[in-house]
Amino acid sequence: MQADTIITPSTLCVKDLPWQIAWDKDKCTLCGRCTAVCPMLALELAVYRKRVVQPPMGLEKPPENTFESFYGVRQKTTPDNACVGCGMCNLVCPNDAIMPMHTDEADKLRFHNNQGGVPRRRGGRRNDPAGILDRIKFTRISMLTDPALDAGRHKFELTTLLGRVLPPEENLKLQREQGWIPPVREIYPLIIGGMSFGALSPTMWEGLQMGVTYLNEQVGLPVVISTGEGGCPPRLLRSRFLKYVILQIASGYFGWDEIIHALPEMKVDPCAVEIKYGQGAKPGDGGLLMWHKVNKLIAAIRGVPQGVSLPSPPTHQTKYSIEEAVAKMTQSMYMAWGFRVPVYPKISATSTSLAVLNNLARNPIAAGLAIDGEDGGTGAAYNVSMDHMGHPIASNIRDCYLNLVKIGKQNELPLFAGGGIGKRGNLAANAAALIMLGASGVQTGKYVMQAAAGCLGSETDRCNICNIGRCPKGITSQDPRLYRRLDPEKVAQRLVDMFLSFDTELKKIVAPLGRSTSLPIGMSDALGIDDYRVAERLSINYVV
C-alpha cells in the first residue's frame, strides 16, 4: 500500500470479507462471464503487474528484470459490492477457474454493512443452521405386536383439515336442523407458504401455480399455496384454479382492491383466506418489498406507484385490539365470500401465542391458526429482526396444541406450523415431527424455492439478496433478464418431484409407526429426543 493512500474506517481488504474469491489464473480464459453474471458486481477486470527476474547462466551478464502485465479478475472490497458467495461465477465459468470460499474467521464486513446509517437488510432465513426439529426421532416402531405397514403398497390417508371443525354434538345437531356449518377444506398437510407476487418473479409464480395444479389434477394430492401479501394476478382470480389458492391479506392490504373487484367474476372460491398478523422471519415487523422490485406489473397488481419501497405497517392499522381483530376481520372476510371460505390468522411464534389462541378458540368461526417460527424465511427484512427476533416453533406449537387438548378443542381449531421446516433438507421428518407435536399441517416457502427453483440461499449467509431484485436464479427478481433464467415448466416439474418424494418419505415415517388411517396429529408417544430438558419441555420421550 502506498503511504499516502487514504484509509477510511470502512476500507476493507479481501480477507475482511465473508466470502473470498479463489481465482485460478492458469485456468481463466478471460471470457468475462463471471463478471457479467455476478449479482453484486463484485468482480472487475484487473490488470496485474508482474516482475520477472531473469538471471542468465554464467557470470558474464548481470541478472535482469522484466516487467509484465497480465489480465484477470479482482474482487471488490467495498461493502456494497462484497461477494455474497452465491457461486454464480463458478456456475458460468467454462473452466472452473473461479469459486467463492467462506472466510475462516468472523468477517469484518458485518461492522460496515450499515453505510448511510441504514442497517443491513436481506432475504432468506435466520443465520443459524442448527435446530431442534432435526434432533427429534420417531421411536415407536411397529414390528411384532402390531404389524408394520407397507409404505409402498398400503393405502394412506394423509390429508388434513383446514377450517373450523365443530364438536360432534354440534355438527350433528346443525346437520339435522340444516344450519350453517363452517366450511372445512381437506388439504394436503404440506402447504406452500405465502410468497408474494412481487417478492417472487412472474416465472417462479407461474411455475408454482402450474405445479400445484398438476399435483391436484393429475397426481391427486390436494396441495394448496398461499399468495403471500401482494395480491393475485387478475386471470388467476377469475380462473378455476383459484380453489388451490389461499389468498393472504396483510397489513398493507396490497392487491386487495383487485381481489375485491374480481369477486363477482370469480368462478370458484379460493381455498381459504389467511390474515397475516405476523411473520416468523421478522416478528412484529410488516412486510417489505423494496423499490428495486416494484416495476410496472407489480405496481399495477398491488395498486401502488412504481419504484417506491412498500413497507407494510407492523400491524393492521384499523384494529386496536385482539378481540376486534379476530372478530371483525375474520367475520368480514367470511362475509365477503358468503361464509363459504375458511378464514384464519397467521402469526409469528411468540410467547404470547396462547393468548391469541384462546381468543380464537372463543371465536366460533376462526378456521385455524398458522404459527410461523423464528426460522421462517422472507424476501426482505432487517437482519436484526431475522437473526434475533422470534420464538422457536417446536415449543410454541406444542404449547398451543396441549392448550387445545386441555380445553377439548384439539380437533376444532387446526394449527399450522411454519418456520425452518426442511432447513437442513429433512422436510418430511421435520413436518412429521411438528404434526406429531400437534400441528395439523406445515407451511414452507424457502424449501420450495430451494428444491423447485434452485435457490442458493443458506443459513450460513450465502446469497440472501432476495430483497434487491438481483436474484441470480431469477426466483425473486422482477428483471426480465434475470427471471427469464427460470423456466416455469421446470419449476412446476421440480415442485411435483418435491411433493411426490415428500409424500413417500412421510409414508416411510408413518407406516412403521403403524399409522395409515389418519394423519398422526398429536401422536407424541412416537417422538423421542436425546435431551432430557427438551423432552420434558415438549412432553415427549427422553431417549439415549
Q: Which does 539 bind (CB under 5 to 8 A by kind): another protein, ligand SF4, none?
A: none
Query: Among 157-165, 337-345, 435-443, 467-475, which window interacts with ligand SF4 (CB under 6 A)?
Result: 467-475
Query: Among 175-183, 237-245, 462-470, 497-505, which window interacts with another protein (CB under 8 A)?
Result: 175-183
E strand spans, 107-244: 121-124, 137-138, 160-163, 184-187, 190-192, 225-226
The distance of closest approach from Cβ of residue 521 to another protein in the complex, given in angstroms and rounded to an integer, is 6
Containing H/E element for 213? helix 202-214
168: left (phi over 0), alpha (psi -120 to 50) or beta: alpha
Under rule CB under 6 A, residue 451 binds ligand SF4:
no
SS3 for 111? helix
Q: Which does 479 bind (CB under 5 to 8 A by kind): another protein, ligand SF4, none?
A: none
Under rule CB under 6 A, residue 290 binds ligand SF4:
no
Cα-only R_g, the chain: 26
The distance of closest approach from Cβ of residue 505 to another protein in the complex, given in angstroms and rounded to an integer, is 19
Closer to ligand SF4 by CB, 309 or 318: give it.
309
Yes or no: say if 300 and 257 are a contact pair by the CB < 8 Å rule: no
What distance in Å separates the CA atoms of residue 240 and residue 237, rounded to the nearest whole number? 8
Give the residue from 101, 98, 104, 107 showing the smallest Cα distance to 27.
98
DSSP secondary structure letters along 432-501: HHHHHHT-SEEEESHHHHHHHH-----TT--S--GGGT--TTSSS---HHHHTTS-HHHHHHHHHHHHHH
Yes or no: say if 407 and 479 are a contact pair by the CB < 8 Å rule: no
Under rule CB under 6 A, residue 43 binds ligand SF4:
yes
Q: Which residues pair with 441 in a beta bridge?
A: 416
Closer to ligand SF4 by CB, 23 or 334: give it.
23
Query: Among 326-334, 420-428, 470-478, 494-502, which window interacts with ligand SF4 (CB under 6 A)?
Result: 470-478
Q: Which does 362 bind (CB under 5 to 8 A by kind): another protein, ligand SF4, none?
A: none
Yes or no: say if 102 and 494 are a contact pair by the CB < 8 Å rule: no
Q: How many CA atoms lie within 13 A of 441 on its CB side?
A: 26
Three cell numbers written together for 279: 411473520
Closer to another protein by CB, 341 or 523: give it.
523
Residue whose cell numbers read 396490497 = 254
Under rule CB under 6 A, residue 431 binds ligand SF4:
no
Specify the DSSP class assigned to residue 267: S
Under rule CB under 8 A, residue 166 binds another protein:
yes
Residues 53-92 close enough to bind ligand SF4 by CB under 6 A:
83-89
Q: If binding means CB under 8 A, how many residues of this protein chain bind another protein?
A: 40
Residue whose cell numbers read 435457490 = 455
Under rule CB under 8 A, residue 251 binds another protein:
no
What distance in Å separates the CA atoms of residue 363 and residue 383, rounded to the nearest whole number? 36
Mask for 100-119, x = binds ligand SF4 (CB under 6 A) = x-------------------
Under rule CB under 6 A, residue 473 binds ligand SF4:
yes
Under rule CB under 8 A, residue 521 binds another protein:
yes
Under rule CB under 6 A, residue 366 binds ligand SF4:
no
Three cell numbers written together for 178: 340444516
Cα 117 to Cα 41, 131, 174, 359, 459: the distances in Å are 22, 32, 60, 40, 25
Mask for 475-514, x = binds ligand SF4 (CB under 6 A) = xx--------------------------------------
Please identify which residue in 36, 308, 335, 405 interacts with another protein, judged by CB under 8 A. Answer: 405
The distance of closest approach from Cβ of residue 520 to another protein in the complex, given in angstroms and rounded to an integer, is 7
Q: Which does 525 bind (CB under 5 to 8 A by kind): ligand SF4, another protein, none?
A: another protein
The distance of closest approach from Cβ of residue 518 to another protein in the complex, given in angstroms and rounded to an integer, is 4
Residue 208 neighbours by CB under 8 Å, 6+ apart? 192, 200, 225, 448, 452, 491, 492, 495
The distance of closest approach from Cβ of residue 123 to ligand SF4 in the complex, given in angstroms and rounded to an integer, is 5
SS3 for 391? coil
Specify the DSSP class assigned to residue 12: -
Q: Which does 43 bind (CB under 5 to 8 A by kind): ligand SF4, another protein, none?
A: ligand SF4
Mask for 14-33, x = binds ligand SF4 (CB under 6 A) = -----x-x------------
The distance of closest approach from Cβ of residue 542 to ligand SF4 in the complex, given in angstroms and rounded to an integer, is 37
Under rule CB under 8 A, residue 169 binds another protein:
yes
Under rule CB under 6 A, residue 466 binds ligand SF4:
yes
Tallying the residues shown for the chain, one arrives at: 544
| Binding residues for ligand SF4 (CB under 6 A) | 19, 21, 37-40, 42-43, 83-89, 100, 123-124, 449, 455-457, 463-466, 471-473, 475-476
| Binding residues for another protein (CB under 8 A) | 140, 142, 145-147, 149, 154-155, 157, 161, 165-169, 171-172, 175-176, 181, 184, 186, 405-408, 410-411, 513-518, 520-525
